[in-house]
Structure 1
Amino acid sequence: MGGGVGGTSERAVARLPRALPVRRLVIASGGGIGAALMPAWAAWLCTNYEVELRFALTRSAARLVSPRALAAICGARTYVDGDDSGPVPAHLRLARFGEALIVAPATANLIGKLAAGVADDLVSTVVLCFEGPTVVIPSLPPGASGKPAVLRNVQQLRADGYHVPALARGRSLATGEDGLGAMLDLPAALAALETACARARLTGVGAHKLEPRRRPTEGLRRKGRQRSRKPRRRLRTESTGGGSYR
């Protein structure tokens, strides 16, 4: 799977939106290999958009990505499960800070916990307490995407109001096999974020967390980039691209 923005190709970079729908974004990462791409995601977001980022990591995720690197890129503390201090718990600080929440990578274990309402670590508790638009981006091992238990959990999350994009195809680093379950790349993740925020504004569910919409020119920092005239790609039942490592 290509380079570019955290596992994306140059063609994928062209799919990045002109502006983000939020100014304050929380990304919560589980222990999938996609967590290693979070510094690239953070660097691109902080460099090219007017956005404040905060990260929450499970202990497994913190073994795959440096919390210090994320903190240096974002200019703010990165929170790791079990490492908290202060009068207000980390999960509440993060839940109150963000306008929107992206859970990436969401492993099969994390998806199962969220579907059952289990909150036994920092990331799952942040998700449980967060009241705004929430995007859950699966990152599944080979063979897991078709299991009834996984499908039930994904459907339960959607029924509970979480935005879970269609599974993407990608190559497993463990086996080299292609299949469904790869974590979406950054452009596809941001498209899912835009969909979740638009739905929140339309239905009113979670919309109180969102600030008033900005004009597109207020969001993008890049100079000289022409806005693409190509129609935006819509997420389909099965994504044919945009997958990252799993």
Structure 2
Amino acid sequence: MASAVAIMNYQEPVMPSIDIIIAVTGGIAAFKAASLTSLLVQNDHSVQAVMTQSAQKFLGAATLMALTGRPVATELFDPAMPLGAHIELARDAKLLCVAPATANFLANAANGQADDLLSTLYLCFTGPVIVAPAMNVEMWNQPSVQRNIKILRDDGVHIVDPQEGWLSCRQKGMGRMADPETIAKTIAEHLK
């Protein structure tokens, strides 16, 4: 009988509301998402991390879980979120930041394609969206990528432009993700 009483009195721990969703896509710049997340948490923001399958090849979910104090959302169909992870996360957060944002994510977002947790979350989200692209210089310079960036800007997405510098492909050029400090400052401005 005591175990039945304990079960009836059990309540799920209440997590603080989410200020910011940091969504990480699969590029070498994913490691910078850990620094960005740490900066945001140190500034007393409640952060929820979302990672694509490709992002998990570059950065372990355990890193972001330790920094945020929350499980990292990686699956569209999560039994802990019966309405759907994309819907529940979109309703709970004040701001969505995709950093790094790959060319694949930019194409999905610009074209309204929803085939994973992040792309469906993006389409459900009604608050401010900040995107920090990162990719090879040749990819960044492609007319299709620039067209997608323009579409997203026209849709009201704030783009934190990449920087010129040393890229992981061992060349210099435009495509390096903006510094975490720059992205954090942009987030703070949009949360005011």
- Cα 1:166–1:42 shift into 2, 3 Å: closer
What is the CA distance between 1:40 and its match in structure 2? 2.5
Aligned to 1:6: none
Partner-residue secondary structure (3-state), 1:143: helix
TM-aligned CA deviation for residue 172 of structure 1: 1.5
Q: 1:68 aligns with which of 53, 59, 62?
A: 62
1:118, 1:81 → 2: CA distance? 17
Q: Is structure 2 residue 138 aligned with structure 1 residue 128? A: no
Paired residues for 1:111-190 under 5 Å: 111-174=106-169, 176-190=170-184
**Cα distance in 2 for residues equivalent to 1:43 and 1:192:** 15
The residue number in structure 2 matching 1:81 is 75
The alignment's C-alpha RMSD in Å is 1.7
Structure 2 counterparts to residues 38-117 of structure 1, below 5 A: 38-46=33-41, 48-81=42-75, 84-86=78-80, 87-117=82-112
Structure 1 gap segments, 5+ residues each: 1-22, 198-209, 214-246
Residues 211-242 of structure 1, C-alpha deviations (whole Å, 9 max, x = no match): xx5xxxxxxxxxxxxxxxxxxxxxxxxxxxxx
Q: Which runs of 5+ in 2 are unaligned?
A: 1-17
Deviation at 1:140?
1.6
Alpha-carbon distance, 1:91 to partner: 1.0
Q: Percent identity, aligned pairs only?
A: 33
Seen in structure 2, the aligned counterparts of structure 1 residues 130 and 76 have a Cα distance that, compared at 3 Å, is same
More helix by share: 2
SS at match of 2:131: strand
Looking at CA atoms only, which structure, 1 or 2, has the larger radius of gyration?
2
Amino acid at match of 1:107: T
- Equivalents in 1 of 2:79, 2:65: separation in Å? 16
TM normalised by structure 2 equals 0.84
Change (3 A) 1:94 1:170: farther
Question: Per chain length, whose mean CA-contact separation is higher, i.e. which structure has more relative contact order (CA < 8 Å, sep 6+)?
Answer: 1
Residues 53-79 of structure 1: per-residue CA shift (max 9 Å, x gap): 001110000121111221122111111
Tell me the CA shift for residue 88 of structure 1.
Answer: 2.3
